[in-house]
Structure 1
């Protein structure tokens, strides 16, 4: 009797198709952008090719125009797309749009799906998610933006938002606000769909970060916006998922976002390791090939080990997701591990490249400044570690062992 790690043939085929797509189309398109070609033209051509080949919205059901992939096949696809910053965009599976599409798909009314979800799925519009606030930080239940009903027709929103990713390129915003301050803590919030631009939703600025920035970085990702919400009128028909359900929907959405970040981190780390290995196999120092030095081999071995563990984590989470099992503990463990994994591998790749790695002649330096955010976004390390630790204690009190909270119940 054996555990079956075989990936279904159709999932393997999709992975190979997407792998070729990224290597043959997306990475060459990156070079066109660096050479100065127009972003919209290049992305438009990529998307036209992708749709013609059936490579569009991997996780979206076929009846909505997507590929209809389950968690395992989607994980395999995402672990390829992250090798290029145009990968996810080319197939309309970029964050933060992807997780918000899933929220609309699951909780939207027929009217909301027709008016707001349809153009997102067609790649005609982009959407952002405005939840985080300065005052609340990692504690989403501390947000202060208020939504007050004005009769039966509208809600009036007032407050501020912080780090609303992609807001500056979005056509639609999903905004979370407090509708009932007297309700239980996790039932105080509701979510609203806002058409942009809107005078009540004012982007104060795109917040500068330590990530290497340039004209393309803001177009590709849309930056991270500070937003003032003042007397923002939202029709009652744009309430998403009913009053009091905003927090629960937000956590469901973030759960996918954490995994998507992790999947893309695996892809980025793989490309970084490939770049590093290509470099050391073509260099000599002090009369000896660089790849024959034991210290270099150990560095590569550590990176390979990190990637192996990362892939196993994601495959196990995909397995549980396929079967509708509770994966919250594994999700938090993987979120923290994968953020550190990609940092370690990219850092090692820079070291192996020497001064070249520190320069901007390779993508490594840009990746390095960008991936530091992975330990903060969608919940900082400390919050996830706190949650995991509490679950370890809970498991011991209930079962007399911590095994179920530490991978002891793998299958």
Structure 2
């Protein structure tokens, strides 16, 4: 007998060779990560201790670093397989960190574009969670959608390295990172695109300073940093000078797709809460679910989930095959962000005042949905980018 497929699943179906692993990941997130969300959200030493324990358990259960290269201590799942697991991990914002997949973008970038020294020193330790990393692209004084205006500058140093000066903000995890990849100008002046490079900056270097945490709709994890003549070794340049945007674009394509997969997981969590509320909350005349307006919310949420998921997996298929995926990722990113906000909002509406309080995950899910429409490029950027590509296509 085939196992029952959740009503929210839709197409594509999870492959049989991945289903058992996905179920184990989903169970771990549900039983171990979700109950610890309040402690993890608060941050600080207590959150760090909880995260260490969760990581230890994930390693013990064989769930650690599933998409990371096997030769570095991961399990080497290809994107087409890991995508289904990313949905399960993403049901909680803390799932990827607890299960060791959060370092995927940095590990992949350093392996592909780092010097021999960088490849030797950092990727394996990132996979093992011995080091923490961050990525700093945007700046307070210029639009985040226009990297050509980047003001942070790296000047050649007498020892052959670089001296970096500038300011970055909304850098995820930069407050406790050991390494920060910084988009900086090594030549030219704004808006010249050819002078932009990526430097891997050790945060213990003199002149590196954490300015402040930037709460986003009440949630932590984003940071502003300052670099005041920070020395960076020559071999910590990623790729070639002036080629930052090609590397950043490669990273963003995968990063946006992974976010979409995780948002699918969070939207399903919000939908499940809404459905449960509709079935169990009663009025004097019966369950909430008997009301047509409530049924309308459920239908629209399910429609959004079912129609968004194929778009996300189309982006996965293009990336996995090494094909250009600008249009597919742009469509998926806008659709998934809007979908998560819509589903979380409907779930809150069905819960009433309870959906605004601390007793459900819905406020956090709604916050993520609203942030999703700006993180990794606002909706408007992707709409224009996709439309222009379509107009230029044969």
- Normalising by structure 1, what TM-score? 0.87
User: Contact between 1:191 and 1:240, CA under 8 Å: does it hold in 2?
Assistant: yes
Report the alpha carbon displacement of residue 183 of structure 1 after superposing the two structures with TM.
11
Match of 2:218 among 212, 223, 244: 212
Q: What CA distance in whole angstroms lies between the structure 2 residues aligned with 1:262 and 1:5?
A: 15
Structure 1 residues 15 and 208, CA gap change in structure 2 (3 angstroms): closer
Structure 1 residues 6 and 39, CA gap change in structure 2 (3 angstroms): closer
Report the alpha carbon displacement of residue 39 of structure 1 after superposing the two structures with TM.
2.1
Task: Find the residue that maps to 2:280 and give its secondary structure.
Answer: coil
Report the alpha carbon displacement of residue 301 of structure 1 after superposing the two structures with TM.
0.9
What residue ranges of structure 2 are gaps of 5+ in the alignment?
1-10
Report the alpha carbon displacement of residue 31 of structure 1 after superposing the two structures with TM.
6.5
Residues 1:92 and 2:104 aligned together: no
User: Contact between 1:130 and 1:175, CA under 8 Å: does it hold in 2?
Assistant: yes
Report the alpha carbon displacement of residue 58 of structure 1 after superposing the two structures with TM.
2.3
- Matching residue of 1:363: 361
Residues 1:393 and 2:391 aligned together: yes
Residues 1:48 and 2:56 aligned together: yes
Structure 1 residues 5 and 299, CA gap change in structure 2 (3 angstroms): closer
Q: What CA distance in whole angstroms lies between the structure 2 residues aligned with 1:264 and 1:383?
A: 21
- Matching residue of 1:145: 152
**Alignment coverage as a number of residue pairs:** 382
Structure 1 residues 227 and 304, CA gap change in structure 2 (3 angstroms): same
Residues 264-300 of structure 1, C-alpha deviations (whole Å, 9 max, x = no match): 1111110011111111111112322211222211210
Q: Compare 259-268 and 37-46 and name the one that shifted more.
A: 37-46
Report the alpha carbon displacement of residue 184 of structure 1 after superposing the two structures with TM.
9.8
- Matching residue of 2:241: 243
User: Contact between 1:329 and 1:388, CA under 8 Å: does it hold in 2?
Assistant: yes
Q: Compare 46-55 and 340-349 and name the one that shifted more.
A: 46-55
Match of 2:174 among 167, 177, 180: 167
- Matching residue of 2:5: none
Residues 141-197 of structure 1, C-alpha deviations (whole Å, 9 max, x = no match): 210111111235221111211211211021111111111217994431111111113
Q: What CA distance in whole angstroms lies between the structure 1 residues aligned with 2:250 and 2:384?
A: 19
Structure 1 residues 7 and 207, CA gap change in structure 2 (3 angstroms): closer
Q: What CA distance in whole angstroms lies between the structure 2 residues aligned with 1:64 and 1:198?
A: 26
Report the alpha carbon displacement of residue 41 of structure 1 after superposing the two structures with TM.
2.8
Match of 1:24 among 14, 21, 31: 31
Q: What CA distance in whole angstroms lies between the structure 2 residues aligned with 1:315 and 1:50?
A: 26
Task: Find the residue that maps to 1:159 and give its secondary structure.
Answer: strand
Report the alpha carbon displacement of residue 17 of structure 1 after superposing the two structures with TM.
2.2
Match of 1:123 among 129, 151, 176: 129
Two-structure CA RMSD over aligned residues (Å): 2.3
Q: What CA distance in whole angstroms lies between the structure 2 residues aligned with 1:172 and 1:330?
A: 31
User: Contact between 1:105 and 1:113, CA under 8 Å: does it hold in 2?
Assistant: yes
User: Contact between 1:212 and 1:366, CA under 8 Å: does it hold in 2?
Assistant: no
What residue ranges of structure 1 are gaps of 5+ in the alignment?
399-411
Residues 1:294 and 2:292 aligned together: yes
Q: What CA distance in whole angstroms lies between the structure 2 residues aligned with 1:186 and 1:34?
A: 38
Structure 1 residues 51 and 206, CA gap change in structure 2 (3 angstroms): same
Superposition pairs of residues 294-373 of structure 1, within 5 angstroms: 294-373=292-371
Structure 1 residues 30 and 144, CA gap change in structure 2 (3 angstroms): closer
Task: Find the residue that maps to 1:180 and give its secondary structure.
Answer: coil
User: Contact between 1:57 and 1:65, CA under 8 Å: does it hold in 2?
Assistant: yes
- Matching residue of 1:75: 83
Q: What CA distance in whole angstroms lies between the structure 1 residues aligned with 2:380 and 2:42?
A: 41
Residues 1:110 and 2:108 aligned together: no
User: Contact between 2:274 and 2:351, CA under 8 Å: does it hold in 1?
Assistant: yes
- Matching residue of 2:8: none
Report the alpha carbon displacement of residue 371 of structure 1 after superposing the two structures with TM.
2.8
Report the alpha carbon displacement of residue 110 of structure 1 after superposing the two structures with TM.
2.7
Match of 2:163 among 156, 171, 177: 156
- Matching residue of 1:176: 183
Task: Find the residue that maps to 1:277 and give its secondary structure.
Answer: helix
Q: What CA distance in whole angstroms lies between the structure 1 residues aligned with 2:359 and 2:287?
A: 23
Residues 90-142 of structure 1, C-alpha deviations (whole Å, 9 max, x = no match): 11222xx4312221121122311222222211111210111111224211121
Q: What CA distance in whole angstroms lies between the structure 2 residues aligned with 1:327 and 1:377?
A: 19
- Matching residue of 1:404: none
